Amino acid sequence: MSSPDPNYPQFPKLSIDEIKAELVPEVSHWALTNGLVMYPPTFNVSQSSVAPITLYPTPFPRKSFEQAVSVQTLYNKLYAKISQDKDGWLSSRIEELAKFDAEFTGKLWELHLEAKKRGLSQKLALGLFRSDYLLDADSLMAKQVEFNTVSVSFGGLSTKVGQVHRFLNDTGKYSQNSGAPFYSEELPVSDSSSLLSRGLADAVKKFETSETHTVVAFIIQKGERNVFDQRVLEYKLFQDYGIKSVRLTIHDINTKTTMDPNTKRLFYNPTGEEISVVYFRAGYSPQDFTNSQDWENRLLLETSYAIKAPNLLTQLAGVKKVQQILTEESTLKRFVPDEKERASLVDSFVKIYPMDDSEVGEKAKKMAMKSPERFVLKPQREGGGNNIYKTDIPLFLKTIPEHEWSGFILMELIKPLPTTENVVIRGEKILQEPILSELGIFGCVLFDENEIYSNDYAGWLLRSKSSTSDEGGVAAGFGCVDSVVLY
Ligand code: ADP
Ligand code: MG
Ligand code: MG
């Protein structure tokens, strides 16, 4: 943890043996007591274990942290406006893009069109978003990696990781009982658990019904390992607002729910309760849909009167192509007329290029072939493991016909600060290694085609990965949940 910055946070140095003998049991007991857990890759229902986490919080400049937080409501508003699809801007972009990714973007687009044809009964839409950033080493600015509009995770566990790090600090465990190395306010705890469940509750309250109460349907993946992160939100929702939730996979919809054909209201069959909000923690990748019934189920949800978090247009607004187009000044201006707001957003951008036959696109293609080490190439997919990095780019591009390159975007690599030494706990493994961290800022926005009813910051997440890996998915096994020590 060496750095020329005299304010750079340092934890008392302990040997790996001391860490294993003293800190690891502390953190494991806290995690198991408080549900900072995840299912291992193969599991039965009673076998959870400590979630992949860091032992120490990671130093993060306060200014950069605040910069990322300060733009969240601007991003929420921006993506709400895009999703409103006034004069069909989003529709035209997605229609174009659908040709290049028929397997998924194209399917979602078709589904949206079909839902529109059958009739979209619910105008309200809920966005539970997460904007992800890497810290740029030169400017110390938080630079956006991507903006997620569907199935954002770790809002629940992030709070808990902050709590365990705060506990280890405040009880002097980091210093072998010689006092807390940091003030509490240097170790913030993300309030994402409370704020994301509040976002869901706000939508439930806005939902119009004659029923005395309704339920929220969490749409989850079969065999989900990250159950407890979702459960935190479910339990919060009940504890703070008395709102019940039910868990369904996309495959369950045709057997466990019924939509009234006249009112389009959606009911949960086992109890007959009305579903007010459908919260998607699945449905972001083609693997989530195994057959045509699954697609039909997604379509039914879209046409139902339940509020979707997100609906298909909002999900589609999160494609990487939209992120790229927003870096064009004229497009950003269209959605963000205020110059100051626009400047704040632009500060968080890095250069992203199209790979099409426009003038800029042709230049980008040349750059991708000539200096690939500066770039990451991204398709229109979510959930990790889809990108092509650096020198793999030219080799990859040569395997597909040039007219298909338009389905990708070319993004400048953000050069993060030199890595921080931390200790990663992953199952049985305790790894002392250099890590790189990605900051996520959550946001909630409730809107319809004309209005934005609420727009809020909703906490944060730090995910870290071993600095030797390009990707950082936690559940995918590349990364872990971390928290910050601000300086
Ligand atoms: P996904 O939707 O699959 O999560 P991301 O755009 O977040 O796709 O990319 C996955 C990972 O790749 C990120 O978490 C980050 O580690 C790395 N990455 C993506 N874009 C960049 C970039 N511009 N600079 C550096 N690393 C990046
Ligand atoms: Mg990502
Ligand atoms: Mg993503």
Residues 215 and 78 in one domain: yes
Widest CA span of the chain, in angstroms?
A: 68
CB 9 within 8 A of CB 487: yes
**pLDDT tops 70 at residue 72:** yes
Residue positions forming the annotated binding site for ATP: 146, 320, 378-387, 389, 411-414, 438, 465, 471
Residue at a domain's end among 395, 413, 431:
413
Q: Is the CB of 438 under 6 A from ligand 1?
A: yes
153 is annotated as an active-site residue: yes
Domain-located, residue 4:
no
Domain-located, residue 186:
yes
Residues 323 and 366 in one domain: no
Residue at a domain's end among 413, 432, 459:
413
Looking at residue 468, its pLDDT comes to 73
340 is annotated as an active-site residue: no
Residues 385 and 470 in one domain: no
Q: Is the CB of 472 under 6 A from ligand 1?
A: yes
Tokens 């290029």 map to which residue? 353
Give every CB contact of residue 243 below 8 A, 6+ residues apart in sequence: 200, 201, 204, 213, 214, 215, 216, 237
Residues 456 and 478 in one domain: yes
Domain-located, residue 9:
no
**pLDDT tops 90 at residue 477:** no
Q: Which atom of ligand 1 is nearest to the CA of 378?
A: 6
**pLDDT tops 60 at residue 3:** no
378 is annotated as an active-site residue: yes
Q: Is the CB of 145 under 6 A from ligand 1?
A: yes
Domain-located, residue 94:
yes
363 is annotated as an active-site residue: no
Looking at residue 359, its pLDDT comes to 98
Looking at residue 467, its pLDDT comes to 81
DSSP string, 34-99: HT-EE--SS--TT--EE-SEESSPEEE-HHHHHHHHHTHHHHHHHHHHHHHTGGGHHHHHHHHHHT
Tokens 């937080």 map to which residue? 69
pLDDT band at 6 (very low <50, low <70, confident <90, very high): confident
Residues 298 and 401 in one domain: no
Q: Which atom of ligand 1 is nearest to the CA of 384?
A: 3
CB 378 within 8 A of CB 323: no
CB 217 within 8 A of CB 246: yes
**Ligand 1 centroid vs 341 CA: distance in angstroms?**
25
Looking at residue 302, its pLDDT comes to 98
| Full-model pTM | 0.97
Among the options 83, 146, 276, 302, which is catalytic? Answer: 146
Domain-located, residue 212:
yes
| Number of domains observed in the structure of the chain | 2
Domain-located, residue 199:
yes
Among the options 81, 463, 472, 479, which is catalytic? Answer: 463
Domain-located, residue 6:
no
Which tokens in the block code for residue 19?
């860490």
pLDDT band at 472 (very low <50, low <70, confident <90, very high): low
Residue at a domain's end among 359, 388, 413:
413
**Ligand 2 centroid vs 60 CA: distance in angstroms?**
19
Nearest Cα neighbor of 321 from 432, 248, 411 is 411
Q: What CATH number does the domain containing 364 carry?
A: 3.30.1490.50
Average pLDDT of the residues in 143-163: 98
Residues 240 and 322 in one domain: yes
Looking at residue 296, its pLDDT comes to 98
**Ligand 2 centroid vs 146 CA: distance in angstroms?**
6
Looking at residue 418, its pLDDT comes to 81
Taking the C-alpha atoms of residue 213 and residue 234, their distance in angstroms, rounded to an integer, is 16
Domain that holds residue 373: 351-413
pLDDT band at 251 (very low <50, low <70, confident <90, very high): very high
Average pLDDT of the residues in 347-353: 98
pLDDT band at 476 (very low <50, low <70, confident <90, very high): low
**pLDDT tops 60 at residue 110:** yes
Taking the C-alpha atoms of residue 88 and residue 100, their distance in angstroms, rounded to an integer, is 19
Residue positions forming the annotated binding site: 130, 146, 148, 150-153, 224-226, 230, 281-284, 320, 378-387, 389, 411-414, 438, 463, 465, 471, 474-475
Residues 388 and 252 in one domain: no
Looking at residue 308, its pLDDT comes to 98
Residue at 389: amino acid letter:
Y
**pLDDT tops 60 at residue 288:** yes
Taking the C-alpha atoms of residue 347 and residue 136, their distance in angstroms, rounded to an integer, is 11
Q: What's phi and psi for 424, nearest 5 deg?
A: -105, 130
Residues 135 and 52 in one domain: yes
pLDDT band at 483 (very low <50, low <70, confident <90, very high): very high
Tell me the per-residue pLDDT of 191-243, one tens digit each, with 9 for 90 and over: 999 999 999 999 999 999 999 999 999 999 999 999 999 999 999 999 999 99
Taking the C-alpha atoms of residue 448 and residue 124, their distance in angstroms, rounded to an integer, is 4
Residues 399 and 427 in one domain: no
- Tell the burial category of 254 from Cβ atoms under 10 Å away from its Cβ (0-12, 13-18, 19+): middle
Domain-located, residue 261:
yes
Partners of residue 288 on adjacent β-strands: none
Tell me the per-residue pLDDT of 75-98, one tens digit each, with 9 for 90 and over: 999 999 999 999 999 999 999 999
247 is annotated as an active-site residue: no
Residues 337 and 362 in one domain: no
Taking the C-alpha atoms of residue 97 and residue 354, their distance in angstroms, rounded to an integer, is 12
Q: Percent of the chain having pLDDT more than 90?
A: 94
Looking at residue 419, its pLDDT comes to 81
**Ligand 1 centroid vs 145 CA: distance in angstroms?**
6
Residues 388 and 247 in one domain: no
146 is annotated as an active-site residue: yes
Residues 70 and 209 in one domain: yes
**pLDDT tops 50 at residue 15:** yes
20 is annotated as an active-site residue: no
Looking at residue 1, its pLDDT comes to 45
